């Protein structure tokens, strides 16, 4: 069952990725050596090999992040800020290079849309550090990587790499670290490596790795928990959403388990029973629901005109994890006029919630349009913002927001 790729016009190429013909998705694949088995048979999943590759590289990217984080706080040279004042680290660039190199090797005709580019690495003297962390986590190497190999791999996902055009396209979407603010705080905060595949305009699979996920606690953010075994969540169109531990005993333990659990959203059908999470940079009072409901953070005694607001965690993908795993009922994001909404902050989370039985739309109830940015496929323009829910209360929330607006 082959799907032909319509390759975009390339403004950047890696010589090892060039092919003179248009291979199908199946024809692109070479051997994949994921350390995880998948929870469903290959016959049920059209993009099985792509998902195996994505799981493998996200797992290794999480290891890379943990390795960097261990030494991060002792070296200010590895933490700096981009033009928009958001933090960025060696791990951000290392993950992007790692994922780019491995996916290019296995699926050379599928382009990559990702957050970073190499200019920042060059300007801030991070080249040697990035090359080192990438080399440590590559599955195999045909030759020793040099600086330019790694820098070109980063730029393969940059905004100047491809010109897509208006037609439906096939491409990977990567957020190397969603929640870098949490990453630099240390092991108690959440961050996510997110990877999704879009085929002819439709998100067909998503993988999210969260090394600091507290797997055994009821609500994320319990400071007394010591069972931080990490989590990897996967989703494939028509096959559901699943999660398992990244490590059996905890971060750094090489013994992994493949005990996949199917993810289902919660079934709260009343707004005052639901559990909400919002962007850590936003206040409840800025959202339309605040006209009818006040927010409380305690775990008991939620009144009729109150909602339960869960502790914030950095990054959008963490909130998608919360809703898809049933730990939260609703995630609301307000679109700010001075801040663009990027596809990598949402793509892998959207399919995970959909396949877990939830729903993601903008504030008008329309699906998120990942092709609205025709040339680069990097920006979303959701009306009002983004609403991700368990589906049971989606229309109720939309109605309140509409009446308040």
Active centre residues (catalytic)? 92, 180
User: Which residue is listed with tokens 């333990």?
Assistant: 253
For residues 356 and 241, the answer to whether their CB atoms sit within 8 Å is yes
Measured in residues, the chain has a length of: 405
Task: At 255, list the tokens.
Answer: 């013994």
Burial of 242 (0-12, 13-18, 19+ CB in 10 A): buried
Task: Identify whether the C-beta of residue 19 lies closer than 8 Å to the C-beta of residue 108.
Answer: yes
* 348 within 8 A of 342, measured Cβ to Cβ: no
In three state form, how does the secondary structure of the chain look? CCCECCCCEECCCCHHHCCCCCCEHHHHCCCCCCCCCCCCCHHHCCCHHHHHHHHHHHHHHHHHHHHHHHHHCCCHHHEEECCCCCEEEHHHHHHHHHHHHHHHHHCCCCCEEECCCHHHHHHCCCHHHHHHHHHHHCCCCCCCCCHHHHHHHHHCCCCCCEECCCCCCCEEEEEEEECHHHHHHCCCCCCEEEEEEEECCEEEEEEEEECCCCCCCCCCCCCCCCCCCCEEEEEECCCEEEEECCCCCCCCCCCCCCCCEECCCCCCCCHHHCEEEECCCCCHHHCHHHHCCEEECCCCCCCCCEEEECCCCCCHHHHHHHHHCCCCCEEEEECCCCCCEEHHHCHHHHHHHHHCCCEEEECCCCCCCCCCCCCCCCEECCCCEEEEECCCCHHHHHHHHHHHC
């Amino acid at each position: 069952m082959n799907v032909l790729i319509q390759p975009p016009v390339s403004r950047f190429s890696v010589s090892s990725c060039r092919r003179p013909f248009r291979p199908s998705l199946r024809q692109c694949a070479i051997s994949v050596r994921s350390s995880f088995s998948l929870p469903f048979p290959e016959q049920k999943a059209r993009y099985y090999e792509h998902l195996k590759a994505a799981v493998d590289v996200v797992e290794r990217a999480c290891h890379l992040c943990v390795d960097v984080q261990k030494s991060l706080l002792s070296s200010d040279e590895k933490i700096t800020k981009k033009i928009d004042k958001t933090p960025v680290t060696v791990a951000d660039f290392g993950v992007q290079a790692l994922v780019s190199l491995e996916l290019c090797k296995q699926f050379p005709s599928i382009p990559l849309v990702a957050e970073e580019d190499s200019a920042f690495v060059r300007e801030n003297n991070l080249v040697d550090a990035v090359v080192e962390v990438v080399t440590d986590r590559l599955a195999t190497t045909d030759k020793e990587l040099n600086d330019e190999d790694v820098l070109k791999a980063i730029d393969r996902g940059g905004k100047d790499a491809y010109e897509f055009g208006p037609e439906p396209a096939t491409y990977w979407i990567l957020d190397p670290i969603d929640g870098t603010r949490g990453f630099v705080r240390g092991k108690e905060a959440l961050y996510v490596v997110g990877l999704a595949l879009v085929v002819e305009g439709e998100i067909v699979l998503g993988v999210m790795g969260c090394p600091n996920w507290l797997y055994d606690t009821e609500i994320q953010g319990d400071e007394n928990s010591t069972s931080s075994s990490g989590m990897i969540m996967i989703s494939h169109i028509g096959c559901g959403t699943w999660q398992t531990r990244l490590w059996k005993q905890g971060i750094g333990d090489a013994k992994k388990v493949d005990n996949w659990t199917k993810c289902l959203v919660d079934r709260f059908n009343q707004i005052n029973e639901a559990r909400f999470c919002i962007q850590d940079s936003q206040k409840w009072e800025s959202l339309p629901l605040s006209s009818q409901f006040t927010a409380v953070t305690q775990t008991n005694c939620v009144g009729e005109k109150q909602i339960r607001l869960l502790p914030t965690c950095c990054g959008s993908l963490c909130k998608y994890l919360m809703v898809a795993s049933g730990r939260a009922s609703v995630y609301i994001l307000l679109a700010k006029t001075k801040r663009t909404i990027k596809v990598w902050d949402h793509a892998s989370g959207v399919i995970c919630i959909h396949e877990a039985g939830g729903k993601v739309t903008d504030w008008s109830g329309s699906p998120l349009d990942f092709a609205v940015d025709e040339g680069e496929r990097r920006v979303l323009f959701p009306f009002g913002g983004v609403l991700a829910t368990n589906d049971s209360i989606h229309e109720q929330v939309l109605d309140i927001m509409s009446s308040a607006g």
